[in-house]
Amino acid sequence: YSTPLFAEDAVAVLDELGVERADVYGTSMGGRTRAGWRTAIHCAVRRLVLGCTSPGGPHAVERTMAVRRSLAGPDRD
């Protein structure tokens, strides 16, 4: 599996349902810019929202261990 393949699957579902225009929201891996824009290219996207994501590929920036620990721990606030 790859992000472009996931995007192609999403377009195939929209096509099968007869959806001509869609609002697309991608989060985490589903929001990787490459997949989101690939979907936008293949169908008429009214709005594209990418959340909690990164560009992936050679431009990706990994979280530091401090950030990973912070996200995994309880919210003290």
pLDDT tens column, 55-68: 677 777 888 899 88
pTM for this one? Answer: 0.56
Cβ atoms within 10 A of the Cβ of 43, count? 16
Query: To which residue do tokens 């003290």 refer?
Result: 76
Query: To which residue do tokens 């995994």 refer?
Result: 72
Residues written for the chain: 77
Q: Where are the domains of the chain?
A: 3-72
pLDDT tens digits, 22-59: 888 878 777 766 666 676 676 778 888 888 777 677 77
